[in-house]
A and B are shown apart, each in its own frame.
Chain A
């Protein structure tokens, strides 16, 4: 494992963002839009619902954490897509870079870029809409950890799918969070869902986070066991996603896809 090679992946992303207005703006523009939109929505709900129920931590807090998951996932895939868009696979994979170093580089780049969005979200949500995470206390740490792990897992899975099926498969990856969202129960309890959806929801780690948030916001206490199960589940998904990426890479090396990677020959 070489720190220099991991640093290279991180530095390359810094170079790309530094030199491109169109890469810099999306780091925070969507989270700002989300916070503003859901911030006003939460305020409105607070004004029409009887006093005692505060929607700011329930809805705006959930939006903020869901956006954190999105930033992490997209942070991973964006770094990979840069190599797809610039047709850089041959240069990258014919270098001494190990697949494990590449994945760690993707994750670290994602953490760095996600921080920009999260800081912007926190400033807006706490400063403008009065969001406070005090109600969640230290439980916020496992909440964020679960979403971080699941974001990494989905990001690496997305990279593997695009590596396997070609650049056109990018369009399968962008809507993936929207596909997961109904099962994650970001805005509603899982009991709202029909039984078959609830079964799937229990396999989606963020569902435990958002269920726990609602319980805590309404003054209840959260049992640790389900949350620990969600951490284990998310960690398992990270391992499976990394194994899937490695297997996809090996398949691409065996069949020659790495050497002649383009939309035309893989479609």
Chain B
């Protein structure tokens, strides 16, 4: 069994002369939640898209559970799943239909029981026959998370998963995702602009700026290491004055 669920080595993506991601390397271990942070345009979503195999890297490798995404795309993605605010499930299918469809795509065993369990876990039972386009944004987010958990992925990619949730539901969701890693088999890569959430949830954070990892470390101790009072202050410095910081 590989030591890391996700291994990224020297990942680059260039659009013409512009480097969206420039030599990013990091790992995610089983049971670990890693926060990928940075201002808009730092390269977070580009990195996630390359991990998901929907964007070809200009250089570097992405390995999921020991499988290179470029060479073993389908088996690697069977071990992966994701939820992102910009990728809602089709609004013209009901909750059950969507989960069934994606369950088949991800090769989920005993699919009906799995769907029932996830609907109970994410409070979706009342909406089973509701078209997803008619759900509130919070309900759609819960459904996307249920879809992301369908195949009990080894690698879970979450791009701002709690962005449209009220504080109570967001806390509940954070606990569920934390619970996902407790068994120690799955790892999570999480992007968020909510620094309080990141501090509570993530074991480790990576700060991206201009396509490079600028800083990394424990979200609870990293601000103090760089003379900042909070993770939010550190984030603002990364966004406005990245040259004043370096990974010590």
> Which A residues are closer than 8 A to B by beta carbons?
2, 4-5, 7-8, 11-12, 15-16, 19-20, 82, 85-88, 90-98, 250, 253-254, 256, 258-259
Contact = CB atoms under 8 A, between A and B. Distances in A.
Contact of B101 (A8, A98, A250, A254): A8
Contacts of A11: 100-101, 104
B53 interface: yes
Which of A2, A82, A94, A254 counts the most B-chain CB atoms under 10 A from its CB?
A94
A97 to B, nearest CB: 5
Interface in B79-121: 82, 84, 86-94, 97, 100-102, 104-107
8 contacts: A11-B104, A19-B93, A90-B54, A90-B86, A91-B90, A256-B46, A256-B49, A259-B45
Contact of A95 (B49, B84, B102): B102
B87 A95 contact: no
Contacts of A95: 77, 102, 105-106
A7 B102 CA distance: 11
B92 A16 contact: yes
Contact of B90 (A86, A254, A256, A258): A86
A19 B89 CA distance: 16
Contacts of B78: 96
A253 B92 contact: no
Given A12-B101, A16-B93, A19-B94, A96 B55 contact: no
Contacts of B91: 86
Given A86-B90, A86-B91, A258 B106 contact: no
Given A253-B56, A258-B55, A96 B75 contact: yes
A61 to B, nearest CB: 37
Nearest to B58: A254
A211 B45 CA distance: 55
Interface in B32-84: 45-46, 49, 52-56, 73-75, 77-78, 82, 84
A4 B147 CA distance: 17
Given A4-B107, A5-B105, A96-B105, A258 B93 contact: no
A180 B131 CA distance: 38
Contacts of B92: 16, 19-20, 82, 85-86
A259 B46 CA distance: 9
Contact of B54 (A4, A20, A98, A258): A258
A185 B226 CA distance: 77
B12 to A, nearest CB: 13
Contact of B87 (A19, A20, A90): A90
Q: Which 10 A-B pairs have the closest CB atoms?
A: A8-B104, A86-B90, A94-B52, A90-B87, A96-B77, A95-B105, A96-B74, A259-B49, A15-B97, A96-B78
Given A90-B84, A256-B49, A96 B93 contact: no
Contact of B107 (A2, A91, A92): A2
Nearest to A14: B97
Nearest to B76: A96
A92 B53 CA distance: 11
B134 to A, nearest CB: 12
A97 B84 contact: no
Contacts of A253: 53-56
A254 B16 CA distance: 12
A32 B63 CA distance: 54
A4 B49 CA distance: 25
A254 to B, nearest CB: 5
Contact of B104 (A7, A16, A254): A7
A15 B100 CA distance: 10
A72 B49 CA distance: 34
A15 B93 contact: yes
Nearest to B84: A90
Nearest to B104: A8
B93 A254 contact: no
Interface string B1-26: 00000000000010100000000000
Contacts of B97: 12, 15, 19
A250 B53 CA distance: 11
